[in-house]
Each structure stands twice: as C-alpha cells, then as structure tokens.
C-alpha cells in the first residue's frame, strides 16, 4: 500500500520539475504556486479564478454552510434552532462574540443597542435632501456612509472599545435609517425610536406609526420580523460580506465599509433578488401561467428569480423556515395570493430536469418577498430589510478580518491580456 501525506505533488510539464505543496484544511496555498517558474525571472505560477468560484481567501469561524446538504450554522448553531428559539439581538451577539450571551451579557447588549438607535438630527436633514421617489436602498447606502462623518473616532480600529462602539451604533442605527428612508419616500413625518419596544417591534413602530400615542406591534408580525432578520444575519463569504472585508482591509472605518457592503447587496443577483422575485410573480400573474413561465426560463428567456445559489445545491434551509413563517403571517395579514403562484412554480421547477440537473432550488429570497408584501412593505424596501438583517454578519467578518494576522489589504493579481506597448497617436492622425 502506498504511503499517504497531506501534500499535493505537481509536475510542471513545461520544465519537467516536480513540486510538493502542503494541503491544509482541504486547500493549497496559492502563494506556494509562486515557486513554480519556467525561468528564474519568471513571476511564478498564478491561480486564475474569476469571481472566486474556487478560492478561499479567509479562515473564518463565523458561519458554516454545507451547500450540498443544505446546512447553515452560525457559530455552530443550526439556523433552524436559532430561528425557533433565539432572537435577532442574541444572534447578533453570537455572530460578533462567538458565543451565546449569558443573561447579564444579553441584558447589557440589549441596553446598549436600544440606547443607540437615535440618529443625529443633521442626518435627518441629509435624508430630506433626497428626491421624493429616491430608492430607499440608495438612501441607506448614502446615509450609512455619512455616519462615518459623525463618528471620526471610528478610525481607531486597534482599540477594542472603539470597535465595539461602532458595532453597537451600526446595528442600532440601521433600522432607524431604513425606516426613515421609507418614511421619506412616502412623504411621511419620521417616527422616532421607542425604547420600550423590542428591536423588531421598534422597527415596525418607526415604519408604521401614524397618529397613535404609542405604537403596539402585532406580536405575531413582530416575531416574524425578528425571525426574518435572524435568517438574513449571516451567510459567510457572499458578495456583500466580501466587500465589507475588502473595504475593511484598507483600514477604512466600518461605516464606509458597511456602505460598500450595502451597495453590493443592492444588485438583483444578491439582496435585490427578493424584489425581483415579486416582480416576476406579478408578471406571471396566475397559477395557470406557471408552466409557460418555467418553459421560458428553461429557454433562457429569463432567470427564475429566487432560484439557484452559488453555494446551495439543495433546498436553502432558510427558504424552508420562511415558507413555514408565511402561514403565521397570513393568519394576521390575510393570504398573499402570490403564494399560490410561488408554490406552483416551486413544484413544477423541482420536478423539471433542467432545474434538477442544475440543482436549482428555491433560495432565501423566493418566499421572503411574499411575506414582506403581506406585512405592508413596498418592494423597494426588500433589499433594505435584507441589509438590516445582514449588518451583524458583516460586522463579525469585518472584525475577524481586522484581527487575523494573516490578512492584509486585499489586492488580487490579474492576467493582463491587453495591448502591448504602443506610441501615443495625436488626435488628428487617428
Ligand atoms: N433560472 C434559470 N436558470 C438558472 C438560474 C435561474 N434562477 N440560476 C442558474 N441557472 C442556470 C444557468 O443558466 C446555468 O445554466 P447552464 O449551465 O446551462 O449555462 C446554470 O444554471 C448555472 O448557473 P450560474 O449562473 O453559472 O450559477 P452561479 O453560481 O454563477 O449563480 C445565482 C448563482 C444565484 C447568481 C443564480 O442562480 C441566479 O442568478 N439566480 C437568480 C437570482 C437569485 O435568486 N439570487 C439570490 C441568491 S440568494 C440570496 C443572496 O445570496 O443574495
């Protein structure tokens, strides 16, 4: 029997040289490829990996996903258990600190977040400057970035207390900015935070309060809102989290990094997908049109939004929880008729070879928009709600990156395939 070792032997057929590369945690170090050269002045072999489809650029302890098995765990805890038994602030603490809080830690954390929900009045004026029909996600991106101008001390990244303060502020102020963006877009007076309410209850208060002296959230909708935030709280190295880490790697302050992450989340292939799902379901229009829509998606005429995932090649565990949550919400709000179209779409797609062969299953965004719509949120707010849930995850990764001695400013290499050197040609001679 041949001896085994945790190495990879590579033969460079250009030179006949053989190299032995260490394999650790199922990976080789891309820097180990550099020794592979044809000539002494050769730069060394690079790994080419557009969109990082097969590149790990961090060691992370935050979130584990097994995409083939449909498993998602935050710090080891299955998402289903957290959604059932925990709450968003506790999950946020878990993501950032690595452990569930004790009762005292939880009380202190909740107190801190609750007492940082207000935003500077000048930021409100900033919000007022937006056009009346500005997209709330655009307003969120700008105002989150603007927070950095109010907290210049946030640049003190080496001090744990300073970092902690900005983490608290970002989690606390995100819902306020999100709700204010909505209120601005419909021309309504801003509703200020209410410290008596839970994190989710207060957000619903800032969204929906009108003339009542005290807003009382419906307990079922409050719980549903909280669960939706838990389900969105982290998803390891996705596009926006990678953006957060990348911006953070230049030692920019976390508000600027979070503004970048929010921008990354805005796109329809990422956090904008739930908005796109609703538009798609509305366009399909009725259950009897579903089969034709699936056919059109197979012909490449459009993508079934809310289907498919870079990592999940199985049912997204978050989509399962959300599908169940929909029934609780509909008990209060009445059924959203789009759910029938969605269920039929899922049924037909999951039986179709095109989707089965490509392992395309519903993802988190497939059902979330239907619930949000039933709760009264306009589609433009969907990515905003996603961002509000994701902020603890972004911050957990931002901090992990800063504290990781192996990390440095992110700066990938390129394969240059453009023009060779050529002389400038004056305009008249072109
Ligand atoms: N509808 C129809 N076909 C699809 C879909 C879809 N939603 N998604 C992937 N495919 C096909 C694609 O055409 C390709 O087929 P072929 O091999 O014949 O060329 C194959 O499946 C692989 O697709 P891909 O684009 O190479 O896969 P990817 O890993 O680059 O993309 C994705 C992942 C999420 C961007 C993509 O599945 C997609 O665009 N889905 C719709 C948008 C969506 O729901 N996004 C939310 C993602 S979950 C929330 C989040 O993380 O933000």
**CB of 317 sitting under 6 A from ligand 1:** no
Question: What distance in angstroms lies between residue 411's CA and the mean position of ligand 1's atoms?
Answer: 27
Distance CA 117, CA 115 (A): 6
Two tokens, residue 339:
């759910």
Question: pLDDT per residue over 239-250, tens digit each?
Answer: 999 999 999 999
Question: Stretch 65-91: mean pLDDT, rounded?
Answer: 97
**Best of 63, 70, 308, 318 to mutate for ligand 1, by most ligand atoms within 8 A of CB?**
308
User: pLDDT tens, 346-367?
Assistant: 999 889 999 999 999 988 888 8
Q: Using the atom order of ligand 1, give the atom closest to the CA of residue 316.
A: 48
* Token representation of residue 333: 């709000």
Q: Give 272 Cα–ligand 1 centroid separation in angstroms.
A: 14
Q: Is 297 in the pocket of ligand 1 (CB under 6 A)?
A: yes
pTM of the model: 0.92
| Extents of the domains making up the chain | 1-48, 59-410
How confident is the model over 126-183, as pLDDT tens digits? 999 999 889 999 999 999 999 999 999 998 889 999 999 999 999 999 999 999 999 9
Tokens representing 127? 């919000």
State percent of the chain over pLDDT 90. Answer: 87
Residue 137: alpha-carbon gap to chain centroid: 14
Question: Does the CB atom of residue 347 touch ligand 1 within 6 A?
Answer: no
Could you confirm whether 235 is annotated as catalytic?
Answer: no
For residue 8, give the 3-state DSSP assignment. strand
Nearest CA, atom 52, ligand 1:
270
- Name the active-site residue from 184, 235, 309, 397: 309
> pLDDT tens digits for 204-263?
999 999 999 999 999 999 999 999 999 999 999 999 999 999 999 999 999 999 999 999
- Give the residue among 245, 168, 225 at the shortest CA–CA distance from 381: 225
- Residue 216 Cα to ligand 1 midpoint, Å, equals 41
The CATH number of 59-410, from 3.40.50.740, 1.10.238.10, 1.50.10.10, 1.10.580.10, is 1.10.580.10
Contact 58, 404 (CB under 8 A): yes
Question: Is residue 309 flagged as an active site residue?
Answer: yes
Distances (CA, A) of 383 to 81, 270, 369: 25, 9, 10
| Per-residue pLDDT tens digits for 307-337 | 899 888 988 999 989 988 998 999 999 999 9
DSSP label at residue 42:
S
| Cα–Cα distances in angstroms (integers) from residue 43 to residues 8, 136, 138, 387, in the given order | 21, 47, 42, 41
Q: Is the dihedral of CA 194, 200, 203, 207 positive or negative?
A: negative
Residue nearest to atom 48 of ligand 1 (CA): 363
Q: Encode pLDDT of 92-138 as tens digits.
A: 999 999 999 999 999 999 999 999 999 999 999 999 999 988 999 99
- Annotate 57-115 with DSSP letters as a single string: ----SSEEEETTTTEEEETTEEHHHHHHH--HHHHHHHHHHSSPPPHHHHHHHHHHHHT
Residue range 288-314: mean pLDDT, rounded: 91
Q: CA 204 to CA 200: how far, in whole Å?
A: 6
Nearest CA to ligand 1 atom 22: 358
Does any ligand 1 atom lie closer than 6 A to the CB of residue 365? yes
Closest CA to 383 of 253, 269, 230: 269
| pLDDT at residue 276 is higher than 90 | no
For residues 26 and 43, the answer to whether their CB atoms sit within 8 Å is no
Catalytic status, residue 115? no
């Amino acid at each position: 029997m041949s001896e085994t070792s945790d190495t990879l032997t590579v033969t460079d057929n250009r030179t006949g040289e053989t190299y032995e590369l260490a394999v650790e945690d199922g990976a080789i170090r891309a820097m180990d490829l550099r020794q592979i050269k044809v000539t002494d002045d050769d730069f060394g072999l690079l790994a080419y990996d557009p969109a990082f489809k097969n590149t790990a650029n961090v060691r992370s302890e935050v979130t584990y996903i097994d995409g083939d098995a449909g498993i998602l765990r935050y710090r080891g805890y299955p998402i289903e258990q957290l959604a059932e038994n925990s709450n968003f602030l506790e999950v946020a603490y878990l993501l950032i600190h690595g452990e569930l809080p004790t009762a005292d830690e939880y009380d202190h954390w909740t107190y801190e977040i609750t007492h940082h929900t207000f935003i500077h009045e000048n930021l409100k004026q900033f919000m007022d400057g937006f056009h009346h029909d500005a997209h709330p996600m655009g307003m969120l991106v700008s105002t989150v970035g603007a927070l950095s101008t109010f907290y210049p001390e946030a640049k003190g990244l080496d001090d744990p207390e300073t970092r902690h303060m900005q983490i608290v502020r970002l989690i606390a102020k995100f819902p306020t900015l999100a709700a204010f963006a909505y209120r601005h877009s419909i021309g309504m007076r801003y509703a200020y935070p209410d410290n008596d309410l839970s994190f989710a209850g207060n957000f619903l208060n800032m969204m929906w309060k009108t003339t009542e002296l005290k807003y009382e959230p419906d307990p079922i909708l409050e719980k549903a809102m909280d669960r939706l935030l838990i389900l969105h709280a982290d998803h390891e190295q996705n596009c926006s989290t990678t953006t957060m880490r990348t911006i953070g790697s230049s030692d920019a302050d976390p508000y600027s990094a979070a503004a970048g992450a929010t921008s990354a989340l805005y796109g329809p292939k990422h956090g904008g997908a739930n908005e796109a799902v609703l538009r798609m379901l509305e366009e399909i229009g009725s259950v009897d049109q579903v089969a034709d829509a699936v056919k059109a998606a197979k012909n490449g005429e459009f993508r079934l939004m809310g289907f498919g995932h870079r990592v999940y090649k199985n049912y997204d565990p978050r989509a399962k929880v959300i599908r169940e949550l929909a029934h609780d919400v509909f008990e209060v709000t009445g059924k959203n008729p789009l759910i029938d179209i969605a269920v039929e779409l899922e049924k037909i797609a999951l039986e179709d070879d095109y989707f089965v062969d490509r392992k395309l299953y519903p993802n988190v965004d497939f059902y979330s928009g239907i619930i949000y719509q039933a709760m009264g949120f306009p589609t433009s707010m969907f990515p905003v709600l996603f961002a509000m849930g994701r902020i603890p995850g972004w911050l957990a990764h931002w901090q992990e990156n800063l504290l990781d001695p192996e990390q440095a400013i992110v700066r990938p290499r390129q394969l240059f395939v453009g023009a060779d050197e050529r002389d400038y040609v004056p305009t008249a001679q072109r």
